[in-house]
Chain A
Amino acid sequence: MPSEADAPLIKISCVSKYFDSFQALKSVSLDIGLGERVVVCGPSGSGKSTLIRCINRLEKYEDGEITVDGVVLSDARESLDKIRSSVGMVFQQFNLFPHLSVLDNLTLGPRRVYGLSDQQAKHRAMTYLERVRIPDQADKLPRQLSGGQQQRVAIARSLCMEPRILLFDEPTSALDPEMITEVLDVMTELAETGMTMVVVTHEMGFARRVADRMVFMDQGEIVEIATPEKFFTAPDSKRSQDFLKKILNH
């Protein structure tokens, strides 16, 4: 029996999810430990985004169970409070609040959810803006920033809630190539601080550098779980090999 401390932070057991008659997840199981960095990859429509959206209940699932930090996800208040306070998410389209300044984007959650004073929230926001290296943009509106800067603000906004787990849903897919690096650098630094991260991405260089484990999905199933070294050099399944051939050959 594993002790309490060894129990996985996120435990996904046999989760199935349907969009009408289309089955997006087919009995998916995955455990993620504290401090682990997991990169999820796979062809589009493979269910990778859906999977991580299930972890913070942006998607509901018909079958199976997910526990986060020992609490089973459900619509119960206790469960919602738990995921909300421990799981953060960074989106492909940033989803910053366009009518609020960068600073207000960051302080809104801490003020309303944790009841921080304006001063405390601002202090916390500036700490994380420095972490993502854009403290000088605090008073601007999101649309006055470049895509890369916006995504870094979005990461800082998530960090302001001080989550235990950070989910990334294709965080660089909407960025111009020259801005991808600055976002990946911030994510790499974050990984070095010991944050538990689940990242859906096509950035294989980043995956190779940062991931503890690679999860390869196809057609709603987890096909292969391996260390990056193994996954990129000698993947077991035919489907992984085909996928890697396609994305690494351009």
Chain B
Amino acid sequence: MIRLIASGALVLTLSGCSGNWGWYVVNPSTPAGWTNLQFMATGAYYTLLLSVTAIVISVVAGLLIALPGLSDKPVLRAINRVYVETVRAVPILVLILWVYYGLPTLTGLTLSVFWAGVIALALSDSAFQAEIFRAGIQSIDKGQYEASHSISLNYRDTMRYVILPQAIRRILPALGNQLVYMLKMSSLVSVIGMQELTRRANELVVTEYRPLEIYTILVLEYLVLILIVSAGVRWLERRMKAAET
């Protein structure tokens, strides 16, 4: 909260320092400014929808990719390594372009801008999620596997009831970081025309010729969004910690 007020104060100070600001373009007290502001802010809906959908998919995919990486079979481990190394090596922007323009030609599927964005973001993030899960699962003491074995749990139940509940608690901060990262990376989906925060700001700049003000608002939008999400993640962590004691 303090950071939020401070950042607002910073912007006001900056605007006071220079004569080149033209806040009218996003002044909520004028009808045009209010419309512009609404146009920009409603992009948050897509930014959130895109990021949250992508992270849900990438968490599931990341777990499925992490599991073979923990196998004692070299072939399965190799599949995990190849996937992680390959996907990590592709820049997200390139992946977005490839999925949107390339994948339909390859598969004959038509992808909406939204789903192309979700797939690209999820694909890219899944490699990182896989590494987070792998580290989290590896951090669980091997006695937990032995105890599960000794009460006859099979692999699936061992993972589901014993290992993953503990691993997820440990990796929750890392998952929170990935969500914040995803919110920022979703801005890249603007290049294929997704009407999220960044795209809306760009479109407004083209019509209003006020990049300084509009992009400043854009920065604040991301800042507010991410501060809220971070606070949410911290709240969740605290709640899980409290539930333990």
Name A residues whose Cβ lies closer than 8 Å to a Cβ of B: 56-58, 81, 84-85, 87-89, 91, 93, 95-100, 108-109, 112-113, 141, 154, 157-158, 160-161
How many angstroms from the CA of A248 to the CA of B172 in the assembled complex? 50
Asked if residues B152 and A84 are in contact (CB atoms below 8 Å), the reply is yes
Q: 11 additional contacts, CB 8 Å, given A112-B157, A154-B147, A158-B150?
A: A81-B152, A84-B149, A88-B150, A88-B151, A91-B143, A91-B150, A97-B161, A99-B169, A109-B152, A112-B161, A113-B152
Chain B residue at smallest Cβ distance from A92: B143
Asked if residues A108 and B151 are in contact (CB atoms below 8 Å), the reply is yes
Which residues of A are found within 8 Å of B147, using beta-carbon distances?
A: 91, 95-97, 154, 157
Q: Given the known A-B contacts A93-B143, A95-B143, A99-B165, are A56 and B151 also in contact in the complex, defined by CB atoms under 8 Å?
A: no
Asked if residues B166 and A98 are in contact (CB atoms below 8 Å), the reply is yes
Interface 1/0 per residue, B131-172 and A, CB below 8 Å:
000000000010110110111110001000110011001000
Asked if residues A108 and B153 are in contact (CB atoms below 8 Å), the reply is yes
Q: Given the known A-B contacts A108-B161, A112-B161, are A95 and B146 also in contact in the complex, defined by CB atoms under 8 Å?
A: yes
Interface residues on B, range: 10 to 19
Which residues of A are found within 8 Å of B151, using beta-carbon distances?
A: 88, 108-109, 113, 157-158, 160-161
Asked if residues B143 and A58 are in contact (CB atoms below 8 Å), the reply is no
Asked if residues A91 and B146 are in contact (CB atoms below 8 Å), the reply is yes
B contact face: mostly helix, strand, loop, or mixed = helix
How many angstroms from the CA of A196 to the CA of B29 in the assembled complex? 84
Q: Given the known A-B contacts A88-B150, A158-B150, are A141 and B144 also in contact in the complex, defined by CB atoms under 8 Å?
A: no
Which residues of A are found within 8 Å of B166, using beta-carbon distances?
A: 97-99
Shortest C-beta distance, B185 to chain A (Å), equals: 32
Chain B residue at smallest Cβ distance from A96: B147
Q: Which of B183-229 contact A (CB under 8 A)?
A: none
List 19 A–B pairs whose Cβ atoms lie within 8 Å, in order of A's numbering.
Answer: A56-B149, A84-B152, A87-B150, A88-B150, A88-B151, A89-B150, A91-B146, A91-B147, A95-B144, A97-B144, A97-B162, A99-B166, A108-B153, A108-B161, A109-B151, A109-B152, A112-B153, A161-B151, A161-B152
Shortest C-beta distance, B143 to chain A (Å), equals: 4
Which residues of B are found within 8 Å of A88, using beta-carbon distances?
A: 150-151
Which residues of B are found within 8 Å of A57, using beta-carbon distances?
A: 149
Which residues of A are found within 8 Å of B150, using beta-carbon distances?
A: 56, 58, 87-89, 91, 158
Which residues of A are found within 8 Å of B152, using beta-carbon distances?
A: 81, 84-85, 109, 113, 161
How many angstroms from the CA of A112 to the CA of B152 in the assembled complex? 9
Shortest C-beta distance, A85 to chain B (Å), equals: 6
Chain A residue at smallest Cβ distance from B244: A141
Shortest C-beta distance, A118 to chain B (Å), equals: 14
Asked if residues B161 and A58 are in contact (CB atoms below 8 Å), the reply is no
Which residues of B are found within 8 Å of A100, using beta-carbon distances?
A: 161
Asked if residues A113 and B153 are in contact (CB atoms below 8 Å), the reply is yes
Which residues of B are found within 8 Å of A158, using beta-carbon distances?
A: 150-151
Chain A residue at smallest Cβ distance from B163: A97
Shortest C-beta distance, B176 to chain A (Å), equals: 19
Shortest C-beta distance, B38 to chain A (Å), equals: 46
Chain B residue at smallest Cβ distance from A97: B162
The CB with the most chain B CB atoms within 10 A, among A91, A96, A109, is that of: A109
How many angstroms from the CA of A100 to the CA of B150 in the assembled complex? 17
Chain A residue at smallest Cβ distance from B142: A95
How many angstroms from the CA of A226 to the CA of B81 in the assembled complex? 53
Which residues of B are found within 8 Å of A141, using beta-carbon distances?
A: 244
Shortest C-beta distance, A49 to chain B (Å), equals: 12
How many angstroms from the CA of A160 to the CA of B153 in the assembled complex? 13
Chain A residue at smallest Cβ distance from B149: A58
How many angstroms from the CA of A218 to the CA of B61 in the assembled complex? 49
Chain B residue at smallest Cβ distance from A166: B150
For the complex of A and B, the 3 pairs showing the least CB-CB separation, nearest first, are A109-B151, A84-B152, A95-B147
How many angstroms from the CA of A154 to the CA of B169 in the assembled complex? 23
How many angstroms from the CA of A125 to the CA of B166 in the assembled complex? 23
Which residues of B are found within 8 Å of A87, using beta-carbon distances?
A: 150
Chain A residue at smallest Cβ distance from B160: A112
